[in-house]
């Protein structure tokens, strides 16, 4: 049994806790949150051992691994502390607020050989892994353009301020929504290396951007467009998609449906012209389901990595650092 603790039982933290609570190889030894109401609930019903001070929790329950789901501005300090205590770390996205902080944590985790993972769950979505497979097979020919998009209804009117509306705390559409798309592009194609021009637009928010539009260049030399808007209430929930265009074909994929066109080179299981595959064909079943297979799959992967059953190669701190770097590139090019 892997002894796991959680810091931050908010929206993502509670969801992770539920999946961890149902995981057969995990013993949840401690939960830390600042809300008395949440702690009392978890103690009373789930019989979780709850704390308000994570240092006290670490000393008392001595976990092997810790999930960090607090606002991004606390990531660096807490994760650094945890690595010093030699525990494996799973942290929510985005990784850090600056690339300098992130670089230090990547080095520390590597030097101490601790398993490290960031919650970019799209990597565990079947359609997107299939996109990566097709791109790597070369069947699209020379790739010359991409479009990365995400739209959804997070901020759809002027509202009261929370940490999500403060850029210094990790708020805003770029860090929240756009980071998912950038991370996918980094992974499927190659890391963002430059931005030719970026617009960070406020729609309803006063302090942060609600939309991000950017013309990006990747380290492979390919150019593409990033278009993200979290103030679009024609979407019921977040919808992320990638389009990849090459000399021999084109892919358009979201989390549910993958459409791919092959001019001539045809990989196994596909035919010439348009092909459509659904997530139902590309998803592996999980033992416990909450909100989407990918949330259980990423936790299962982390637990397996922490117990030495799989290599720690998906969503590492390092890969998330490239996303942090792209975020800062986009920010700078918008000035």
Residues near another protein (CB under 8 A): 10-11, 14-15, 17-22, 35-38, 40-42, 44-47, 153-155, 159, 162, 164, 234, 236-237, 239, 241, 254, 256-257, 278-281, 283, 285-291
b/e sequence 283-312, b meaning 16+ C-beta within 10 Å: beebeeeeebbbbbbbbbbbbbbbbeeeeb
What's the min distance (Å) between Cβ of 155 and another protein? 8
Q: How far is CA 214 from CA 15, 98, 174, 223, in A?
A: 32, 20, 11, 11
Phi and psi for 138 in degrees, rounded to 5? 85, 0
What's the min distance (Å) between Cβ of 22 and another protein? 4
Closer to another protein by CB, 65 or 279: give it.
279
Closer to another protein by CB, 44 or 113: give it.
44
What's the min distance (Å) between Cβ of 86 and another protein? 28
Residues, the chain: 335
Minimal CA–CA distance to 128: which of 325, 324, 315?
A: 315
Handedness of CA 77, 83, 86, 87 (dihedral sign): positive
What's the min distance (Å) between Cβ of 19 and another protein? 6
What's the min distance (Å) between Cβ of 75 and another protein? 18
Closer to another protein by CB, 199 or 290: give it.
290
Nearest-angstrom CA–CA distance, 191 and 201 = 24
What's the min distance (Å) between Cβ of 195 and another protein? 27
Phi and psi for 54 in degrees, rounded to 5? -70, -25
Nearest-angstrom CA–CA distance, 243 and 252 = 4
What's the min distance (Å) between Cβ of 238 and another protein? 10
Nearest-angstrom CA–CA distance, 182 and 175 = 10
330 DSSP assignment: H
Helix axes 179-188, 126-137, angle to 10 degrees: 30
Do 284 and 154 meet the contact criterion of CB atoms below 8 Å apart?
no
What's the min distance (Å) between Cβ of 83 and another protein? 27
> Per the omega criterion (within 30 degrees of 0), is the bond before 94 cis?
yes
Closer to another protein by CB, 55 or 291: give it.
291
Minimal CA–CA distance to 105: which of 84, 126, 124?
A: 84
């Amino acid at each position: 049994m892997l002894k796991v603790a959680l810091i931050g039982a908010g929206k993502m933290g509670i969801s992770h806790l539920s999946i961890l609570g149902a995981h057969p190889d995990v013993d949840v030894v401690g939960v830390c949150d600042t809300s008395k109401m949440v702690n009392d609930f978890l103690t009373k019903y789930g019989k979780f051992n709850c704390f308000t001070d994570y240092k006290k929790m670490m000393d008392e329950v001595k976990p092997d691994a810790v999930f960090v789901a607090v606002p991004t501005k606390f990531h660096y300090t807490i994760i650094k502390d945890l690595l010093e205590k030699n525990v494996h770390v799973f942290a929510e996205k985005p990784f850090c607020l600056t690339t300098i902080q992130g670089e230090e944590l990547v080095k520390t985790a590597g030097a101490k050989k601790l398993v490290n993972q960031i919650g970019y769950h799209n990597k565990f979505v079947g359609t997107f892994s299939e996109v990566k497979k097709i791109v790597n097979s070369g069947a699209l020919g020379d790739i010359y353009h991409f479009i990365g998009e995400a739209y959804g209804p997070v901020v759809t009117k002027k509202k009261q301020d929370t940490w999500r509306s403060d850029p210094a705390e990790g708020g805003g559409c770029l860090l929240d929504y756009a980071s998912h798309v950038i991370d996918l592009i980094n992974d499927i194609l190659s890391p963002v290396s430059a931005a030719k021009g970026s617009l960070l637009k406020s729609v309803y928010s006063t302090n942060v951007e609600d939309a991000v539009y950017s013309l990006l260049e990747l380290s492979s030399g390919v150019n593409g467009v990033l278009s993200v808007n979290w103030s679009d209430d024609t979407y019921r929930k977040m919808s992320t998609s990638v389009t990849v265009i090459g000399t021999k074909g084109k892919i358009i994929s979201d989390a549910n449906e993958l459409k791919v066109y092959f001019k001539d080179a045809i990989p196994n299981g596909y035919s010439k012209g348009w092909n459509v595959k659904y997530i139902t064909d590309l998803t592996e079943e999980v033992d416990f389901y909450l909100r989407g297979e990918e949330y259980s799959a990423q936790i299962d992967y982390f637990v397996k990595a922490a117990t030495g059953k799989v290599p720690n190669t998906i969503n590492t701190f390092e890969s998330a650092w490239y996303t942090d770097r792209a975020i800062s590139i986009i920010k700078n090019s918008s000035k």
